[in-house]
Amino acid sequence: MQTAYTPSRAEIEYAASLLRAGRLVAFPTETVYGLGANALDELAVRRIFEAKGRPSTSPIIVHISSLEMVHSVVADWPHTAQQLARKFWPGPLTLVLKKQPAIPSSVTAGLDTVGVRMPSHPVALALIEAAQLPIAAPSANRFTQLSPTTAAHVREGLGNRVDYILDGGPCTVGIESTVLSLAGDAPVLLRPGGVSRVELEKVIGPVLLHTEAPAEAHPAPGMHPRHYSPRTRLVLVSDGKVPVEGAGAYLQLRTPARGEVREMVEMSRGAAAYAAELYRVLHELDAKDYDWIAVDAPEDSPEWEAVSDRLRRAAAKT
């Protein structure tokens, strides 16, 4: 496993200079590694889409380092946003609000809203401060593939498509941020993530769930039917019934395997600990040329909502 690493001030300044010059920099956040570009530079943002093979219908989250900077990104900052920022920022919560005209349409998939968050990773905050720019950054991987939680994952997935990788050690949350829209009459959860719906509702009351199939332009990233997927076929199972054909690995939560399992991985029982290790484990197993990776389906509860979302999309066939 990759050990913790703190980049030097010179490395952070160099990465910031690349961002100001319109280049791409991969950097750590507490959730996953992001592929960053100057959020105010249309051409730089387009390079993100080219590097990832990402469709223009999938918007990109903008990362900021202060509440002062947020006003350069969003046009409206309601009291609800202030409440949530006070409680969860810096942290794994993205708020979707009406955008400022300065934010290019490529960032928002042509929509009039933008997702913004303040990451808690000290390297991410230091990079944004050094660049003095909001940074547009989806996960630093090829579109629909496993998100990276180490610098090595970025190198393996993107290679020379990124100009510089700022290594900050492994990510701690391990799955992407929660995305909550505050652009309408009521808060709507667009993507579950590092902050649970239960936690949100303790601060602002009821939160609606987005249930409609996305239009051509998705209201949030991570809404493609197949997403977060290893190259190896991933199968959700119950009662330990792994595929009959071939052999593979089994991510076990509760049930002994019933089939040809070459490798058993005992996963953490708590949702947060499970999320923190999920992508790392899948990256490791994906490199072993198995026929499949079987995963115990998590329990149906609010605590497991984000993990279940990632696994369901990773196992989707289209």
Average of per-residue pLDDT across 90-116: 97
Task: Give the model's pLDDT for residue 214.
Answer: 60
Average of per-residue pLDDT across 192-206: 96
Contact (CB, 8 A) for 261 and 249? yes
Contact (CB, 8 A) for 174 and 32? yes
9-209 has which CATH code? 3.90.870.10
Catalogue the E-assigned strands of 100-155: 113-117, 135-136
Task: Give the model's pLDDT for residue 213.
Answer: 61
Range with the poorest average pLDDT among 124-128, 193-197, 235-239: 235-239
Checking if the pLDDT of 211 tops 90, the result is: no
Among candidate residues 123, 105, 122, the one with its CA nearest the CA of residue 114: 105
Task: Give the model's pLDDT for residue 315.
Answer: 95
Among candidate residues 294, 224, 214, 212, the one with its CA nearest the CA of residue 261: 294
Give 215's pLDDT tier (boundaries 50, 70, 90): low
Task: Give the model's pLDDT for residue 4.
Answer: 63
Task: Give the model's pLDDT for residue 217.
Answer: 80
Task: Give the model's pLDDT for residue 3.
Answer: 55
**Bridge partners (DSSP) listed for residue 261:** 248
Catalogue the E-assigned strands of 7-66: 25-27, 34-38, 62-63
The rounded mean pLDDT for the chain is: 94
Task: Give the model's pLDDT for residue 136.
Answer: 98
Average of per-residue pLDDT across 94-118: 97
Task: Give the model's pLDDT for residue 267.
Answer: 94
Average of per-residue pLDDT across 299-314: 94
Q: Where in the chain is the domain with CATH 3.90.870.10?
A: 9-209
Identify the sign of the CA torsion 39, 43, 44, 48. Answer: positive
* Per-residue pLDDT reduced to its tens digit, 50-68: 999 999 999 999 999 999 9
Backbone angles phi, psi at 58, to 5 degrees: -105, 110
* Residue 174: CA count within 13 A, CB half-sphere: 17
* Per-residue pLDDT reduced to its tens digit, 162-186: 999 999 999 999 999 999 999 999 9
Task: Give the model's pLDDT for residue 240.
Answer: 86
* Per-residue pLDDT reduced to its tens digit, 233-289: 999 998 888 998 999 999 988 777 777 899 999 999 999 999 999 999 999 999 999
Checking if the pLDDT of 2 tops 60, the result is: no
